[in-house]
Amino acid sequence: MTQKIKTAIIGSGNIGTDLMIKIAESSDVLDVGCVIGIDPDSEGLAMARARGFATSHDGIEGAQKLDVWNDVKVVFDATSAYVHAKHAAICEAEGKQMVDLTPAAIGPYCVPVVNMDAHLDAPNVNMVTCGGQATIPMVYAVTRVSDNVPYAEIVASVSSRSAGPGTRANIDEFTRTTAKGIEDVGGAAKGKAIIILNPADPPMIMRDTVYAFSVGGDKDDIRKSVADMVADVQAYVPGYRLKQDVQFEDFSGNNKLYIPGLGTFEGTKVTIFLEVEGAGHYLPKYAGNLDIMTSAGMGTAEAIARKRFGLS
């Protein structure tokens, strides 16, 4: 049996707890070493203790006092953007790999199906946001078969019940980081991101809408590229799917598209409707935003472990 790499999860909220369960139940190369929080009564820490994992309710400083901390090679940060810099500095000083699930974006952006191999040597990789993990692959699917994409916009709608305090505190960072990821990873010249926390009861499944303006792209090529990318994402998030066929609207001649601040363009507006059903590891399956984020983070950490520590 392959020896597993010890990991630490900072953050015992929705994302951290879902990640803990996912690693414990499905990873062949990662092992949960400890779970770190700041609320001794949190459900996530209680679940970690019930599974026999070491825990700290005194943050990363408390975790450093745990016997298992010295064995930890990979640290996941599932807290919030404003405290990630402190966690990153501590882990970098101790030579621990950081996988950042906050929108702090200190390290390079990583969207596994687009640029997994590009940053496996970086000491800190950023998983953008749940909305970014869902939509950036679709933007890239359009840009890779177009001459250029001058503008792309995404709207990520998630159940309010799936958004914990860390997510709510990071709304501004979510929009900025996702928009930048649309540009840097998705390949659009200009990106915009909007998040909606939907309070509907019963809770709604994660839904995402992607608008990308393609210059020089063939519609059949775009359809195939999108379908191929959906299949690639489904390899680690089976509940990721198109809600309906890709939509096209042409702009040319006297009907050019004017984008404020960018200019006038001829081309095709591509609209892609997605939904993401979660695996139900922690919250019910409507919380696809948890599943796509933790699956991407775990997959990236596994790839780093295989390359850096020689695991098979």
Rounded to whole angstroms, the Cα distance separating 249 from 151 reads 15
The CATH superfamily label for domain 130-284 reads Dihydrodipicolinate Reductase; domain 2 (3.30.360.10)
Domain boundaries, the chain: 5-127+291-309, 130-284
Rounded to whole angstroms, the Cα distance separating 298 from 246 reads 30
- Amino acid residing at 285: K
Query: What are the respective helix, strand and coil percentages of the chain, to the nearest 5?
Result: 40, 25, 35
The CATH superfamily label for domain 5-127+291-309 reads NAD(P)-binding Rossmann-like Domain (3.40.50.720)
Rounded to whole angstroms, the Cα distance separating 98 from 89 reads 10
Q: Which tens digit of pLDDT belongs to each residue from 30-70?
A: 999 999 999 999 999 999 999 999 999 999 999 999 999 99
Is 210 in contact with 193 (CB distance < 8 Å)?
no
Work out the number of other CB atoms within 10 angstroms of the CB of residue 67: 9
Predicted TM-score (pTM) of this structure: 0.96
Cα R_g (the chain), whole angstroms: 20
Assess whether the previous peptide bond of 202 is cis (omega < 30° from 0).
yes
Q: Which residues of the chain have pLDDT under 50?
A: 1
List of E strands, 142-276:
148-159, 191-198, 206-215, 240-242, 247-251, 257-259, 263-265, 267-276
Known catalytic residues are: 130
Q: Is 107 left (phi over 0), alpha (psi -120 to 50) or beta?
A: beta
